[in-house]
Amino acid sequence: MSESPDRTPLPRTFFDRPVLEVAPDLLGRTLVRTTEAGRMELRLTEVEAYAGTIDPGSHAYRGRTPRNAVMFGPPGHAYVYFTYGMWHCLNLVCGPEGEASGVLLRAGEILRGAELARP
């Protein structure tokens, strides 16, 4: 039997680094959400890095707006947006405050709470 993985929350300083360093370090980490209905745990298996104003794929590419303002820091905050009229996307803000970048959490393996994770 394998040892239980560490569930210690990452400090905000973990995210205060270049997005291309943070993204691979998130792979294999466990995202935990606890609700009144129970606890869900997801092991991250796919992420995407977005380097803000120098990355045409980033929501911050054209600069700061009310919608993307959270991407400009501080690091460790969540940037969530709704897309295609059906999906909420979760990004984790990275890098120094004032310089937009983030990691999109694309996919994961449900470790606990599958019945709570499905609509």
- CB hemisphere CA count around 82 (13 angstroms): 2
Residue 3 confidence (pLDDT) above 60 = no
Q: What is the pLDDT of residue 10?
A: 94
5 closest CA partner among 47, 43, 45: 43
Residue 32 tokens read as 């935990």
Exposed, middle or buried by CB within 10 Å (0-12, 13-18, 19+), for 94?
buried
Which CATH architecture best describes the domain 24-117?
Roll (3.10)
Whole-number Å distance between alpha carbons of 119 and 38:
14
Whole-number Å distance between alpha carbons of 64 and 98:
10
In the chain, domain spans: 24-117
Characterize 54-93 residue by residue with b for buried, 16 or more Cβ atoms within 10 angstroms of its Cβ, and e for exposed.
ebeebbbeeeeeeebebbbbebbbebeeeeeeeeeeebbb
Confidence of residue 112 (pLDDT cuts 50, 70, 90): very high
CB neighbours (10 Å) of residue 20?
A: 13
More confident residue, 2 or 72: 72
Q: pTM of this prediction?
A: 0.89
Calculate the CA 76 to chain-centre distance.
9
